[in-house]
Amino acid sequence: MKPNIIIKTVGLSCFIIFIVLSFAIEFSPGKAIGSNFFSFLVDMLKVLPCAFILVGLFEVWVKRETVEKHFGEEAGIKGYMWAVLLAGTIVGPLYIALPLAYALFSKGARLSVIFTYIGASAICRVPMAIFEASFLGLKFTVIRILISIPLVIASSIILGNYLAKRNYEIIEGK
């Protein structure tokens, strides 16, 4: 066994033992941690399979040339707009956007456009904006989005250029 796998196995085992002991001896903080963990786990198991199926379909159905045209170097400013529009369709937590961001990257999307997609996924999802507008008002929501999107795009460009100058590469996991 590799040392990394041993460390992960020991860590997971310690966590499980801690949760079981917490329920056995009525240790309230441990019980709360266990309950929150299992609630989060159930939520992820409800959402992630569907997200992975959609990402898999994206990988198979969408051609690399299409991604390069709309999200790559030749896309220009339109790439950022496409990223924001795609991000607006994300339903669910941000971790749903990450597999699609990797799929975009593997098909030739520019790094700064991917950063825009991830940032916009966190701030301008349509369901979240509707929920926000119902509580804080439409004016607040529109102002927040109109201020946030240019800041996300600008910071994505800065970060993308910074990493490109340093020849940053994503190393494939094994």
Domain boundaries along the sequence of the chain? 1-47, 62-174
Q: Which amino acid is at 108?
A: G
CA–CA dist 124, 62 (Å, integer): 24
Tell me the H-state helices in the chain: 3-24, 28-61, 64-71, 77-88, 97-106, 111-123, 126-136, 138-165
Q: Which two tokens stand for residue 125?
A: 């999802």
Q: What's the confidence (pLDDT) of residue 12?
A: 92
Q: What's the confidence (pLDDT) of residue 52?
A: 86
Instruction: Report angle CA 90, 118, 91 to the nearest 5 degrees.
Output: 10
Q: What's the confidence (pLDDT) of residue 127?
A: 84
79 in Cβ contact with 110 (< 8 Å): yes
Give 72's DSSP letter.
S
Q: Return the SS3 of 54.
A: helix
145 in Cβ contact with 120 (< 8 Å): no
67 in Cβ contact with 59 (< 8 Å): no
Q: What's the confidence (pLDDT) of residue 1?
A: 59
Residue-level pLDDT, tens digit, the chain, 174 residues: 577 888 889 999 999 999 999 999 999 999 999 999 999 999 888 888 888 898 889 889 999 999 999 998 888 899 999 999 999 888 777 888 888 899 999 898 999 999 999 999 989 888 888 989 999 999 999 999 999 999 999 999 999 999 989 988 777 665
Direct distance between the N- and C-terminal alpha carbons of the chain, in angstroms, rounded to an integer: 15
Q: What's the confidence (pLDDT) of residue 174?
A: 52
Phi, psi of 25 (to 5 degrees): -105, 10
CA–CA dist 115, 109 (Å, integer): 10
CA–CA dist 115, 101 (Å, integer): 8
Environment class of residue 21 by beta-carbon count within 10 Å: exposed (0-12), middle (13-18) or buried (19+)? Answer: exposed
Rounded to the nearest 5 percent, the helix, strand and coil shares of the chain are 85, 0, 15
